[in-house]
Structure 1
């Protein structure tokens, strides 16, 4: 497990910023708002970091990353929350396990009606007829987190059209392209956590 290089960090942060926007800084800064002059060693260890292990990026507290240095790399399977993985071409792909990390910081959101939950969880895109509501002024091709009407995150995707264009669509028009959904835990359980 090692820290990310500059190019890996830039690739990861650009992908995360597509979903979180400016609140990306809340992921890496300490959760307490204590001035830097009065921060103790314990407060510094509570901040979270990103670490790379066999092409997968993990999000974990700094103190846990420091403890992991005592474990040999072949013996370490996983540590923290898996955010995604780097492909062989150097691109970054978010996994569904990143949903708990990006959902509280999501900039744009789409809420689906109860009749649209199952088609989305089975791997389908979100169509206009299934949208209960969505964030205002959402541009085209930006990351959104998909929620049910009870504010439970179901997955994330990329908008097919802006909010203004989506209102003029027919009911079967695609509003959001699915990137990942929580149904993957069952559909891909054999390969989701495989090394």
Structure 2
């Protein structure tokens, strides 16, 4: 039986590949921007990333590409939020730049707000996951669909949502 994608751990090269990053880019974020600083391995130990971490990496990459802002800002804005949790729930959230310069998932209107859509992050990540882990990726999508169906039986299925997103990009989900 295959391991569940959301329970797997990935080394640096695999995490970078799945998130659409180069290993040097990932190393910069880890060391210069102090991403996942509390999860740092001990001296001489290799990094190991959960799928939630990989999903966050893909979100930060998309944030940098979409906004043109520095990775340091993206790491500060997204590094501590559960993008994968929001994806499981089928929800998105708004990050606001607070008066003290911190990013928070709050509903108050601030000077700067960004709408974060984990669905888009997954759609961009899906191709890489399918290329490296096809069975695990399909099982993961089935699990997400089941969780969402239980939470909201009247909502579109995950595959219907993904199919709409693929067709809007001129691609098929196959």
Taking structure 2 as the reference length, the TM-score comes to 0.30
Higher RCO (CA 8 Å, separation ≥ 6 residues): 2
Name the larger-Rg structure: 1
TM-score, structure 1 length as denominator? 0.28
Instruction: Return the structure number with greater strand share.
Output: 1
